[in-house]
Structure 1
Amino acid sequence: MGNKMLLFGISCILLAYYTYMPIPENIEEPWKVRLIDTLTKIATLTATLFEYTGLMKFEHLFFILMRTQNIEPISDENITVIDTEFSNIPVRLYLPKRKSERQRPAVIYIHGGAFVTGSPKMESYDFVNRMTANRLDAVVVAPDYRLAPQYLFPAAIEDCIIVIKFFLQDKVLEKYGVDPAHICISGDSSGGSLTGTVIQLLQDDPEYRNKIKAQAMIYPGLQTIDTWMPSYRENENGPFLSRKLAIMLSVRYFTKETESVHAVLRNEHMPEGSRDLFKFVNWSHFLPEKYKKNHVYREPIHGKLNTFSALHLDRRVSPLLVNDSQLQNLPLTYVITCEYDILRDDGLIYVTRLRNVGVPVTHDHIEDAIHGAILFSTAPMYLHSGLRIIDKYISWLQENL
């Protein structure tokens, strides 16, 4: 009995050691954030152990945890919610019930999840899209795109493009009473990355150019070249999304080679001859002074994983990897960034570059919030910052869509 108690005590101490981190003083609802962060770190440790022992792949545990949050399509007195397919791609559709004298706006919402997990069926995303449909009297389309590692890059992009092009058909817009001049593509986290990518691809296609009025991004990831920006350094251990967890999950979108994870963690994953692209994401040029602090810019190091590294030169992976003439063709844009987020600087650089080329941009920076806040927008573990972000996002849509 004594040995068991001793083992239990040592286990608790080790768990506390590996999961504890100080929470910034100005963060909202610190006890909730600490609990979320601790549970995430426990899940990360468990996933690492499971992969090491061969029970399951690292990312699969997170896929299971997120899938438990899926809910059925439940209609209410205001909104009809349907799970259907657009060109064989699953989508969740939100259709306002009340009669309208005008054509409605539409929002295509692309969920986050590091490309390996998540679904529009999750309760938090259902909450966001239901509220959007209600407050805007808008049709909301949420694609349930294929996930890695079963489906590697560019499967997620292809699915989103297929859904969007299907929806933009005149007969489909007419069927749902949508005004073709008032359509927005939105997304959070990796969904923000997909939003940036599909907007650029649509602008390159003469048939679909200028058919999207606006894009909205909530704490988006927009580049994979430099994983040691100030926001990565300051929030390396979280809260919630640590640098290591983000890299371990997102790399699965590009490759199944485990050594690639270590290369990205060392910031040594860019191929020879790629230095000319660094200028597009050089934070020392584009970050506002308050976010540079005392950090010193260091270029990413050229690695030797050429097959994997070549993907990082693809602008479909990093929407920031385009020149100014391409950026200036983008539509009205809204970006939300959070202070305690490794992806903060991606969004800040994007805002700066878009403003430099004259694209109308609205930017809200949430000083007391963490990455993934909108995932915690429903009971029992809801964050007020998540609700504020959702309110800001929908309010912007009301004013601009």
Structure 2
Amino acid sequence: MLILGLVLLSSFSVGVFVWAVLQHFLTADVPSALQHPTKFRFLHCIFLYVLTLAEIFEKLGICSMLRFLQLLEGSVRIKKDARLMVTDLYFGTIPVRLFQPKAASSGPRRGILFFPGGSGFVGSLDSYHNLCSFLVLETDSVLLSVGYRKLPDHHYPSIFQDCLNASIHFLKSLKTFGVDPARVVICGDSIGGGYVACVTQALVGRSDLPQIRAQVLIYAVTQLINFQLPSYWQNRNVPFLSQEFMMMCMFKYMVIDVHWWDAILNGAFIPPEVWKKYRKWLSPDNIPRRFRKAGYQPLFPGPFNEAAYLENKHLLDVANAPLLRDDETIAQLPAAFLVSCEHDILRDDTLLYMKRLEDQGVPVTWYHVEDGFHGSLMFFDKKLFFFPCSLKIINSVISYIKSI
């Protein structure tokens, strides 16, 4: 009986993996300019295999999809480094992890607030531990990583609230942590990068807190409104953030009924007067011509659907769309370092935010990775699964932070 069970389990696992491989070759676009395409394909097959298992377990009532993925993430191996002192703390109910170099310093160090990515359901303190350790050692900084609340138990606006509250607590405690109040950087990737922009904006004008010196956004989400930008069209099937996967994560976090999928995708939820107001910031006309491939002619926004707007108008909240902040606030923002990847559905979010900042006189340093893809930063130390673009991104971020 045991042998039969093992045979059935093995057959099931093999069958799911074969399905994942077929799904990859039928649906995924692997950019021709990408280095190590075979490695990239293999990783995406594993990614699809895990997602398929998660979906099957959820349908069988064994475990929810998100819980299963979080459970797998919990198995990540943390590299301990004797040169660092790492402390797990709570700011109220928010778990945070403090990284401090053990080496003596002649004075207060630079401070880094770090918001992990992870689509709102992964991206734990553990999964970003090695990256944060590397940043601290390479920049000789004190870093605080924020373990904000996530799906499936927490939804909008929990991430923004936790990142903002943790930032305020950290900024009020800089002396305790040995941080120079004139050199505090907020950094994050993907959804974390989007909330770097939101939190930095929310802190503008706070005379009771030290001013943020710089914001570092790595392939960040800067709007949840126009899903017909050139990069969304060109990279909609590029791993590891396809259009379908991104929309699924967004719908879950923002608590949107799947019934509104087409209305959100086509912009039918945007009132004409709202689009008239914000078109100058959200239009593909703001994307440099070299990023607009031939044949790109989106019909956006679609015919207005008032019911879709009334149920989903929170997508227009500036706490989700830093691109929509008023000019006065934008003009007071600190210098920015923006990283974009060519083969990333979020590429144009970065390009639009860059123009928004530059139009208001904010100093911007832009680093574009021609062979980069979404999530590539996390492979910087994976040895066998290392990609050159991963090192390019982490080195560019380190170089910028060290210049602060």
Taking structure 2 as the reference length, the TM-score comes to 0.88
Contact 1:193-1:220 at 8 Å conserved across structures:
yes
User: Within 5 A, what are the aligned runs for 1:88-127?
Assistant: 88-122=93-127, 125-127=128-130
Output the CA distance in 2 between the equivalents of 1:164 and 1:357: 25
Displacement after TM superposition at 1:57 (Å): 3.7
Amino acid at match of 1:347: T
Displacement after TM superposition at 1:12 (Å): 7.3
Displacement after TM superposition at 1:277 (Å): 4.4
Report the equivalent of 1:133.
136
Do the aligned partners of residues 54 and 230 (structure 1) sit closer, same or farther apart at CA in structure 2, a change above 3 Å counting? farther
Report the equivalent of 2:237.
237
Q: Which moved more, 1:366-375 or 1:129-138?
A: 129-138
Q: Which moved more, 1:51-60 or 1:370-379?
A: 51-60
% identical aligned pairs = 29
Report the equivalent of 1:71.
78
What 5-or-longer segments of structure 2 have no aligned partner?
1-7
Amino acid at match of 1:383: F
User: Within 5 A, what are the aligned runs for 1:168-207?
Assistant: 168-169=171-172, 172-207=173-208
Do the aligned partners of residues 28 and 86 (structure 1) sit closer, same or farther apart at CA in structure 2, a change above 3 Å counting? same
What 5-or-longer segments of structure 1 have no aligned partner?
none
User: Within 5 A, what are the aligned runs for 1:1-400?
Assistant: 14-20=19-25, 21-69=28-76, 71=78, 74=80, 76-122=81-127, 125-169=128-172, 172-208=173-209, 211-255=211-255, 257-261=257-261, 263-270=263-270, 273-294=273-294, 295-301=296-302, 302-303=304-305, 304-379=307-382, 380-399=384-403
Measured against aligned partners, the alpha-carbon deviations of 1:292-337 in whole angstroms (never above 9, x if no partner) come to 2222243233342345411111000111012333211110100000
Displacement after TM superposition at 1:249 (Å): 1.2
Output the CA distance in 1 between the equivalents of 2:16 and 2:219: 35
Match of 1:305, SS state, is helix
Amino acid at match of 1:177: G
Measured against aligned partners, the alpha-carbon deviations of 1:78-107 in whole angstroms (never above 9, x if no partner) come to 211111112331111101111111211100
Amino acid at match of 1:111: P
Displacement after TM superposition at 1:187 (Å): 0.4
Do the aligned partners of residues 365 and 140 (structure 1) sit closer, same or farther apart at CA in structure 2, a change above 3 Å counting? same
Q: Which moved more, 1:41-50 or 1:85-94?
A: 41-50
Do the aligned partners of residues 69 and 284 (structure 1) sit closer, same or farther apart at CA in structure 2, a change above 3 Å counting? same
Output the CA distance in 1 between the equivalents of 2:98 and 2:52: 36
Q: Which moved more, 1:133-142 or 1:184-193?
A: 133-142
Match of 2:98, SS state, is strand
Do the aligned partners of residues 316 and 70 (structure 1) sit closer, same or farther apart at CA in structure 2, a change above 3 Å counting? farther
Contact 2:66-2:151 at 8 Å conserved across structures:
no
Amino acid at match of 1:396: Y
Displacement after TM superposition at 1:186 (Å): 0.5
User: Paired residues, what number?
Assistant: 389
Do the aligned partners of residues 349 and 58 (structure 1) sit closer, same or farther apart at CA in structure 2, a change above 3 Å counting? same
Q: Which moved more, 1:43-52 or 1:60-69?
A: 43-52
